[in-house]
Structure 1
Amino acid sequence: MAADTEHQFWYNMRTGEVEQGFQSASIDRVGPFATHVEATHALEKLRANSAKWSEDDARDNQ
């Protein structure tokens, strides 16, 4: 089953705006997110994921 990209939200890293559906180039956007609110918090989620991955890598390299 294909994702319903028309009803998903994306965070545009270049403009800082939330978009619904494919409105900008893929290089500029992150997502998809199920809601506008989730997309609004995209940078927080990316930072949290990055921190977790760094912790995991440090633990794996001990």
Structure 2
Amino acid sequence: MAYWYNIATKQVETDENRSRNDDVMGPYETEDEARNALATARENTEDWDAEDREWEDRNATWDDSDLED
């Protein structure tokens, strides 16, 4: 069973009662993961922002040779 977090209602939903709009985040494997969806998203965003700052601090440039064919 998949779990979803509804950001409008702040409730965990399952496939059986999931809203069919853009207000849901998921799917998650457990109810607890869904319940913590906003915290997880916040942590991920903070990590990505830190990576971006590190990238900018190094004055890194894009190198196409890093891409796989």
State the TM-score bracket (shorter-chain normalisation).
0.7 to 0.9
Which residue matches 2:66? none
Which residue matches 2:25? 30
In structure 2, distance between residues paired with 1:47 and 1:25: 23
Letter of the 1:45 partner, please give it.
Answer: T
Unaligned runs of 5+ in 2: 58-69
TM-score (norm 2): 0.75
TM-score (norm 1): 0.82
Name which of 18, 25, 47 aligns with 2:12. 18
**Percent identity among equivalent residues?**
34
How large is the Cα RMSD of the aligned pairs?
Answer: 1.2
SS where residue 14 of structure 1 aligns?
coil
Which residue matches 2:56? 61
**Residues 1-60 of structure 1, C-alpha deviation per residue, up to 9 Å, x if partnerless?**
xxxxxx100000000000001621341000111011111111110110010010011111
**Which consecutive segments of 4 or more residues in structure 1 shift more than 2 A?**
none
Unaligned runs of 5+ in 1: 1-6
Aligned length: 56
1:9 pairs with 2:3 = yes
